[in-house]
């Protein structure tokens, strides 16, 4: 059985199945899983910069990306964040991350808010184009290890940017640079190009289902 299939099989054991095993059976089962995992790790020898996409209708796309930002900063890597849509907000994350700004972090909030608030498509297109040009400066700069293009998927979905233009720009990144693109509605072309794609699935939302407003510490 191929390693990946074996791993999926051994990982899909229910709690009930494990509880029915004797201590010796459980030990052997976990030992086999350990061997498979070690073999997988040994085979994964390639290291390269990733194209990462966070999409889907659920919450957490930007939040997950900011977790990677913090990890990179913790390693002493230089990071750039470009916000394409939510720029009119002053998120708490910006205040916290500000301790690194100018040293390891560059933060550019270049959007002017959500499209239903700006109500000016031409200006939205202009702002998105300016944000993309700023993003390209960092994408092409080998000193930056991680670049977060926040809500760029929305700009692409609304036609403010062309997918082909962005895909071409991504190819200009240095080999070891990671780029994260967030926002719902990621195009199939972008998903196919990416190395890592996570889709946040909406199951329940406090605003939609219960009329609970956005709150500090949760949404901003």
Beta-bridge partner residues of 106: 80
d(CA 33, CA 108): 45
Catalytic residue (one of 9, 18, 57, 176): 57
The reply to whether 28 belongs to the active site is no
Catalytic residue (one of 116, 171, 201, 208): 116
Catalytic residue (one of 32, 71, 121, 123): 71
Catalytic residue (one of 7, 114, 198, 199): 114
Smallest CA-to-CA distance from 190 within 173, 169, 166, 214 is with 166
Catalytic residue (one of 63, 115, 118, 198): 63
The reply to whether 182 belongs to the active site is no
Catalytic residue (one of 33, 59, 157, 184): 59
Catalytic residue (one of 55, 61, 106, 107): 61
Catalytic residue (one of 132, 151, 153, 182): 151
The reply to whether 151 belongs to the active site is yes
The reply to whether 204 belongs to the active site is no
The reply to whether 127 belongs to the active site is no
Torsion of CA 15, 16, 19, 22, to 10 degrees: -120
The reply to whether 57 belongs to the active site is yes
The owner of tokens 């350990």 is 34
- 161: tokens are 């940017």
Please enumerate in sequence order all residues whose Cβ is within 8 A of that of 127, keeping only pairs 6 or more positions apart, or say none: 87, 110, 111, 112
The reply to whether 63 belongs to the active site is yes
Annotated active-site positions, please?
Answer: 57, 59, 61-63, 71, 114, 116, 151
């Amino acid at each position: 059985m191929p390693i990946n299939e074996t791993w999926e099989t051994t990982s899909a054991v229910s709690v009930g199945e494990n509880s029915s095993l004797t201590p010796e059976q459980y030990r052997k089962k976990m030992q086999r899983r350990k061997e498979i995992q070690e073999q997988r790790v040994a085979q994964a020898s390639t290291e390269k910069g990733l194209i990462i996409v966070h999409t889907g209708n659920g919450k957490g796309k930007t939040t997950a990306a900011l977790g990677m930002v913090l990890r990179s900063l913790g390693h002493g890597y230089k990071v750039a964040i470009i916000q394409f849509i939510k720029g009119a907000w002053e998120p708490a994350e910006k205040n916290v991350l500000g301790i690194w700004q100018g040293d390891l972090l560059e933060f550019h909030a270049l959007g002017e808010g959500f499209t239903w608030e700006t109500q000016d498509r031409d200006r939205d297109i202009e702002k998105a184009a300016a944000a993309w040009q700023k993003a390209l400066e960092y994408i092409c700069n080998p000193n930056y290890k991680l670049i977060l293009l926040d809500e760029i998927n929305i700009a692409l979905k609304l036609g403010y940017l062309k997918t082909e233009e962005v895909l071409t720009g991504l190819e200009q990144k240095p080999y070891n640079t990671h780029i994260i693109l967030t926002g719902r509605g990621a195009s199939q072309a972008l998903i196919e190009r990416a190395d890592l794609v996570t889709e946040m699935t909406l199951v329940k939302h406090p605003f939609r289902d219960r009329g609970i407003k956005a709150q500090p510490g949760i949404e901003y």
